[in-house]
Amino acid sequence: MNEMTTVTTAKDWASDQEVRWCPGCGDYAVLKAVQRTMPDLGVAREKTVFVSGIGCSSRFPYYMASYGFHTIHGRAPAFATGIKLANPELDVWIITGDGDALSIGGNHTMHVLRRNLDCQILLFNNEIYGLTKGQYSPTSRVGTRSPSTPFGSVDRPVTPCMFALGSGARFVARGIDVHKNLPDVLKAAHAHKGASFVEIYQNCIVYNDEVFASFTDRGVAAEKQLWLKAGEKMLFAGGAKGLALDTEKLMLKIVEGDDPAVLVHDPQNKGIAAMLIEMPPEFPMALGVIYEDPRPTFETAVIEQNRSAAEGKAPDLQALVSRGQSWQVTKEPREL
C-alpha cells in the first residue's frame, strides 16, 4: 500500500450514483461510516477497490467514488484474490452479506481467510435474504418465519465470527450499522495487515426489522453491549459489570465491575476470543476487535516465492521454446 497519505474528505468518496436501498435501511449508515472513515485512512481513491458479490449490501461499490467491481453471488473473495495478486498496491475491500458470504460463498470466505489475503471483509449481517424478498438466511435464528419457511426455520444458524475464527482468520471484529464506534472498528480492520473479518449487525427494515433490538435498543445498549479494547478491562453496564473467567468450568462469567478478576482484553488470546464470540443470551454482545494476531499475508508469500524462484533466471522466450531434448535436422527435404 502507498505509504504516502492522501488528503480526502468524506464527500470525495461518494460517487455520483443515486443510492437505491430502502429508506431506513442500515446499509445507509454503514455507507456513511465507510465514507467518513476513508479520509482518516489517508488512502487514495484510485488505489482503492471495493469488490462485492450479490445482495442488497453488494450494491455498495457503486456508491463509492473509488474503483469498484460488483461481481457474482458469493465469489467476491475470489475476485479480490486475483486483484490483490495482480496488484498488491491496491487497497481491497470486500463487501458481502450473510447469504453471500456464508451460504453460496461460504467456501470462498473460508479460503480467503485461511490464506490471509490482505483485505478488509465487511459482512453485513441482517439474518435475512433481502434482495430476493425475505427468505431466511444461514444466520437466521431457528423458528424464523419467512416466505420459504412459513412454519419457521428448523436449521441452526452459523455464527459468522466463529466461522471466521475456525477458518483461520487473524482479525475478527464486530460492529453495529448505526453505532458511533463503527469507524473505529473499520480503522482497526484497515490497519491490520491480512484478511480482516468484520461482521456488521445491519438492520433490514423491511424483512427483519428489530432483529438485533435485544442488544441495539437504546434502552438496553449499555447493559447488552461490551465494547472490547485491547489492554483494557472487559466492562459493560457503565462499568458496573465485567467479565471474568470461571476457571472451574472454563467459561466466562459475569462479575461486579470492581472485581479484580475482571479480564483484560488480549486480542491475541484465541481461546477467550471464541468464548466472547459465543456468549449465551444473558451475557452482553461482544463488540469491537475480538481477535487480532497478524501473520504473513498470502500475496506477500506468493510474490516472495515468485521472486526467489525467478532469481538468476532471465526470461528468454526463444530459449524456453527450445528447451528439452531437441535435435537438429540439417538436410533439405528429399527431392523426388
Nearest to 47 by CA among 67, 76, 63, 33: 67
**Site for another protein contains 281 (CB under 8 A):** no
**Site for another protein contains 61 (CB under 8 A):** yes
CB 184 within 8 A of CB 151: no
Task: Give the cell for residue 134.
Answer: 425475505
CB 174 within 8 A of CB 185: yes
CB 90 within 8 A of CB 118: no
Total Cβ atoms within 10 A of residue 71: 18
> Of 73-81, 155-163, 210-218, 228-236, which segment contacts another protein by CB under 8 A?
73-81
Nearer of residues 250 and 309 to another protein, judged by Cβ: 309
> Of 126-134, 184-192, 255-263, 299-307, which segment contacts another protein by CB under 8 A?
299-307
**Site for another protein contains 273 (CB under 8 A):** no
Q: How far apart are CA 196 and CA 238, in angstroms?
A: 29
**Site for another protein contains 1 (CB under 8 A):** no
Nearer of residues 108 and 241 to another protein, judged by Cβ: 108
**Site for another protein contains 330 (CB under 8 A):** yes
Nearest to 273 by CA among 310, 318, 226: 226
Q: How far apart are CA 140 and CA 155, in angstroms?
A: 9
- Look at strands 135-136 and 128-129 and give their pairing: antiparallel
Shortest reach from residue 111's CB to another protein, in Å: 4
Binding residues among 152-181 for another protein as defined by CB under 8 A: none
For the chain, the distance separating the N- and C-terminal CA atoms, rounded to the nearest angstrom, is 68
Site string for another protein, 27-46 (x = CB under 8 A): -----------------xxx
Among 32, 42, 67, 222, binds another protein (CB under 8 A): 67
**Site for another protein contains 208 (CB under 8 A):** no
- Residue 296 CB contacts under 8 Å (≥ 6 apart), including other chains: 116
Shortest reach from residue 48's CB to another protein, in Å: 8
Total Cβ atoms within 10 A of residue 145: 13
Question: Distance of CA 27 to CAs 92, 99, 256, Å?
Answer: 19, 15, 36
Among 26, 55, 68, 138, binds another protein (CB under 8 A): 68
Nearer of residues 250 and 321 to another protein, judged by Cβ: 321
DSSP for 69-114 reads EE--TT-HHHHHHHHHHH-TTSEEEEEEEHHIIIIITHHHHHHHHH
CB 204 within 8 A of CB 211: yes
Nearer of residues 1 and 205 to another protein, judged by Cβ: 1
Size of the site for another protein (CB under 8 A): 64
**Site for another protein contains 130 (CB under 8 A):** no
Among 51, 95, 186, 226, binds another protein (CB under 8 A): 51
**Site for another protein contains 304 (CB under 8 A):** no
> Of 150-158, 211-219, 257-265, 318-326, which segment contacts another protein by CB under 8 A?
318-326
| Interface contacts to another protein, rule CB under 8 A | 15-17, 44-47, 49, 51, 61-62, 64-73, 75, 77-83, 85-87, 89-90, 107-108, 110-111, 302, 305-306, 309-310, 313-315, 317-318, 320-334, 336
